Amino acid sequence: MRIPRILVISSPSGGGKTTVAQILKNFGFSHITTATTRERRPYERDGIDYHFVDVETFKSWIREGKLLEWAEIYGNYYGVPRENLYMELERGRNVVLTLDINGKRALEGIFGGDNRYKFVSVFLLPPSIEELERRMRERGEDEGTIKRRIAKVKEEIENSKEYDFAVVNSDLNETVKFILCKVL
């Protein structure tokens, strides 16, 4: 019997992790939609890109143990709904999640030694800082947010050493091929 894969993809903001995760759905991966309290961007869809909830709902989920892991990032909460992930794994499906380093560490701690699943982590490196800035502007980020996120890029790239694989995401098709070769 095939072992379901738990794939965590991380990158700096604008690194392409959500786009790659959406493409992987075409290759049999279930994209586990995480929850957040941040404002929805105009192009984002609730339940597809994130589960957008208010702070009180999110905090009640924490108290009730409905999240596998959670964190506060840039003043907003983000977390992985327990039920969504386990439901797909119980069906034998491969799953992909887009998380930061702390989310990756948390899930690796939960699933890394579990022989029922294969845990794999991939870090998407940006082609350049300028490209990250361009992508953030293109999706409507304000200048303050862009500066704050760019200031964190060096630290995030340094953390890429903790991942099973790292790939420069300059060509989307090549990035997806690389991930599929390493994960499946």
Domain boundaries, the chain: 5-183
Comparing CA positions, the residue from 155, 131, 176 lying closest to residue 23 is 176
What's the token pair of residue 73?
Answer: 């990032």
Q: What is the mean pLDDT of the chain?
A: 93
Q: What's residue 48's pLDDT? A: 87
Q: Who's near 160: CB < 8 A, 6+ residues apart?
A: 10, 123, 125, 166
Residues 162-175: tens digit of each pLDDT: 999 999 999 999 99
Low-confidence residues of the chain: pLDDT under 70: 1
In the 8-state DSSP scheme, what is residue 127?
Answer: S
Q: What's residue 93's pLDDT? A: 96
Residue keyed to tokens 């439901």: 87
Helix (H) and strand (E) counts in the chain: 8, 9
Q: What's residue 117's pLDDT? A: 96
Three-state DSSP at 78 gives: strand
DSSP states of 28-67: TEEE---EE-SPPPTT--BTTTBEE--HHHHHHHHHTT-E
User: What predicted TM-score, i.e. pTM, was given to this entire model?
Assistant: 0.90
- DSSP strand pairing (51-52 vs 94-98): unpaired
Q: What's residue 32's pLDDT? A: 96
Residues 130-162: tens digit of each pLDDT: 988 888 898 888 898 888 888 889 899 999 999
Q: How far apart are CA 6 and CA 114, in angstroms?
A: 11
Comparing CA positions, the residue from 28, 53, 25, 49 lying closest to residue 38 is 53
> Would you mind telling me the total number of residues written for the chain in this entry?
184
Superfamily of domain 5-183 in the CATH hierarchy: P-loop containing nucleotide triphosphate hydrolases (3.40.50.300)
Q: How far apart are CA 109 and CA 104, in angstroms?
A: 8
Q: What's residue 126's pLDDT? A: 92
Cα–Cα distance list, 159 to 26, 124, 164 (Å): 29, 11, 11
Q: What's residue 1's pLDDT? A: 62
DSSP states of 112-123: TT-TTSEEEEEE
Q: What's residue 123's pLDDT? A: 97
Q: What's residue 141's pLDDT? A: 85
Percent of the chain with pLDDT over 70: 99
